[in-house]
Amino acid sequence: MYQLDITLRRGQNLAARDRGGTSDPYVKFKLGGKEVFRSKTIHKNLNPVWEEKTCILIDNPREPLYIKVFDYDFGLQDDFIGSAFLNLASLELNRQTDVTLSLKDPHYPDHNLGTILLSVLLAPREEQREVFQTQSLRLSDLHRKSQLWRGIVSITLIEGRELKAMDANGLSDPYVKFRLGHQKYKSKIMPKTLNPQWREQFDFHLYEERGGIIDITVWDKDAGKKDDFIGRCQVDLSTLSKEQTHKLELPLEEGEGCLVLLVTLTASAAVTISDLSVNSLEDPKEREEILKRYSPMRMFHNMKDVGFLQVKVIRAEALMAADVTGKSDPFCVVELNNDRLLTHTVYKNLNPEWNKIFTFNVKDIHSVLEVTVYDEDRDRSADFLGKVAIPLLSIQNGEQKAYVLKNKQLTGPTKGVIYLEIDVIFNAVKASVRTLMPKEQKYIEEENRLSKQLLLRNFIRMKRCVMVLINAAYYINSCFDWDSPPRSLAAFLLFLFVVWNFELYMIPLALLLLLAWNYFLIISGKDNRQHDTVVEDMLEDEEEEDDRDDKDSEKKGFMDKLYAIQEVCVSVQNILDEVASFGERIKNTFNWTVPFLSWLAIVALCVFTVILYFIPLRYIVLVWGINKFTKKLRSPYAIDNNELLDFLSRVPSDVQVVQYHELKQDPSHSPSKRKKNNPG
């Protein structure tokens, strides 16, 4: 093993790729066909200064380092500026060398595209060689993701002040991007304002003892063209004291105005990786301590610490062969929201045994545990072998189960099963309170892209929700038209009785009765809920299209140039998804799809019914208004939220119900028929 320390110094006289005669350059390093480093983007500069350092582990110094420079174009495919090779075998060991590389384009070898200046140091890495042979050798940020984080930085984006006007109307539509190493977060867009109020909170993991630097850029959203750069700033975490909230007012460089943030550094949560011999829940003292931590007596202590999750990743069987040798090099990725841990790689084996235990702190009991199996390839990106998604509320503690691996869209089986044993311990009161707070967003989610199958699926889901309302309207109208005299007579008498005796508390009472009616139907065996095969079929069709898109993603098509149309279509696609999901979540609440949430709804409706029955409406409105008017005075930096929408966000939509549905093992299942579900 060798360690290559590189300092990316600067670029000189780079080629202009934008219409303004400039470029927005960034640099990629590739080794063995795999990206191992990407620099930050320097905007509107042909002589950029990066001064960025990276460390790369190398097992074959005869393999050259491929350096590519691109011009960043928001929403379009980035323009290629030039590339160069660094011959590592020519470097003298243990000696820092300054290197100047001329950029070339293979299609235009005579063009002068500028130069890149580097400082490199190649040194042998002798310690613990045997460890690296048994561990995965994925480079750069995958190396970092496999480590345990040393702490957590909680960031609250409060507001912006006096930002630069970028639009013709003298205003901007600002949003903010954060980056800490491989972790990224993008805020929501605040339309037509120079003093935006975001009130967003998110967490990053700290992997380095000294903290690291958070890069922050502010942008103005422009529909149909490239977004405008407003300014940038940085937060050096090494200068901040831990276990303390810091209010930061950061002036924007290369722009106007400032951002206001709250930043808190805390020690790492209880996240561990260990062998099966080290089991917290099998140690009576540790188990008692964990049960005590989440007992009802401590329901108001540390409301963010909802529960404890332990995942035993034992083994997998009959995995798909991803290599030409008929074998695979499988490793396992365990994810809970933004917490992501990896097992070691078992080489040349279709029946690997990992025997690892992962523990996580649970911040939201409605989270979904995702376990994904990949095949490691040193010369290219890892191949997908299978995946399972397990809602925490569906876990049966202490039971070792064989989960059938699914395809990328989680709609159908792929080859192989994985054996897991999962335990979750949580405080029900904390979990209920957390349900009414904003849901944690995943900052590594893929960007939404235009898909005709996805657009069609969301349209059909939306249509089904609308048809429920239309059919209900037809039913009511048929009562008015006396199409069925007995039904119309019963409806008329019910109408007179309800209107004459109506009180406000009857609204939550009616919803309560509907929930109770569906519950008794389910326990009596008259469950009218049906498995949604329509959504499942549409998801499988969409996956086939995704496979085709993956193969063609490197091609520069006509759609890449129609960014404005694509953005509008993606917006329509997402709006349809949100509206359809909203209707499906209401239905699934009353259908007892997640019993915990339905019971929570029953408790809330009972409370509302009692309050409305005993307390006059004017007092309720008075308390509500006083709370709303004084909220900002009592807590200036409170994050706005709607408890009802936060509750519904935890209820799965019909698509998620299909994705989380556990498949049964089918011995007669032919993996060859599902090979299309396993794109590399």
pLDDT at 540 over 80: no
Confidence category of residue 135, pLDDT binned at 50, 70, 90? very low
Q: How many residues comprise the chain?
A: 680
- What pLDDT is recorded for position 536? 55
Residue entry with tokens 């990106």: 381
Assigned token pair, 423 = 């335990």
Please state, rounded to an integer, the average pLDDT across all residues of the chain. 80
| Residue 581 DSSP code | H
Q: Report the C-alpha gap between 415 and 386 in whole angstroms.
A: 7
Beta bridge partners of 215: 179, 234
Beta bridge partners of 217: 177, 232
In angstroms, the Cα distances linking 632 to 623, 627, 635, 636 are 15, 9, 5, 5
- What pLDDT is recorded for position 627? 84
pLDDT at 599 over 90: yes
The residues, any chain, with a CB within 8 Å of residue 262's CB and separated by 6 or more, are: 154, 155, 156, 158, 245, 246, 247, 248, 637
pLDDT at 421 over 50: yes
> Which stretch of 22-36, 110-124, 174-188, 646-660 has the lowest confidence by average pLDDT?
22-36
Interior/surface letters 403-435, b for 16+ CB within 10 angstroms, e for the rest: bbbbbbbbbbbbbbbbbbbbbbbbbbebbbebb
How crowded is residue 499: how many other Cβ atoms within 10 Å of its Cβ? 8
- What pLDDT is recorded for position 673? 38
Confidence category of residue 209, pLDDT binned at 50, 70, 90? low
pLDDT at 321 over 70: yes
Beta bridge partners of 312: 357, 421
Question: Over pLDDT 70: what percentage of the chain?
Answer: 82
Q: What DSSP assignment string belongs to 287-333? A: HHHHHHHTSGGGTTS-TT--EEEEEEEEEEESPPP-STTS---EEEE
Q: Are 373 and 330 in contact (CB under 8 A)?
A: yes
pLDDT at 606 over 90: yes
Question: Over pLDDT 90: what percentage of the chain?
Answer: 18
| 3-class secondary structure per residue, 48-95 | CEEEEEEEEEECCCCCCEEEEEEECCCCCCCEEEEEEEECHHHCCCCC
pLDDT per residue as tens digits for the range 50-109: 888 888 877 777 788 889 998 887 656 678 899 998 888 888 888 888 999 999 888 888
> Which stretch of 129-138, 170-179, 250-259, 282-291 has the lowest confidence by average pLDDT?
129-138
Mean pLDDT of 323-338: 83
The residues, any chain, with a CB within 8 Å of residue 521's CB and separated by 6 or more, are: 527, 528
pLDDT at 361 over 50: yes
Q: Report the C-alpha gap between 82 and 71 in whole angstroms.
A: 10
Beta bridge partners of 159: 197, 260
pLDDT per residue as tens digits for the range 445-496: 555 566 677 777 778 888 888 888 888 888 888 888 888 888 889 988 988 8
Q: Are 359 and 280 in contact (CB under 8 A)?
A: yes
Residue 331 C-beta-side C-alpha neighbours within 13 Å:
18
- What pLDDT is recorded for position 132? 34
pLDDT at 369 over 90: yes
Mean pLDDT of 620-649: 83
Beta bridge partners of 264: 154, 245
Mean pLDDT of 133-148: 40
| Residue 384 DSSP code | E
pTM, entire model: 0.62
Q: Are 635 and 643 in contact (CB under 8 A)?
A: no
> Which stretch of 109-123, 139-153, 182-196 has the lowest confidence by average pLDDT?
139-153
Confidence category of residue 660, pLDDT binned at 50, 70, 90? confident
Question: 498 — phi, psi (to 5°)?
Answer: -65, -45
Residue entry with tokens 């004017």: 618
> Which stretch of 86-90, 539-543, 571-575 has the lowest confidence by average pLDDT?
539-543
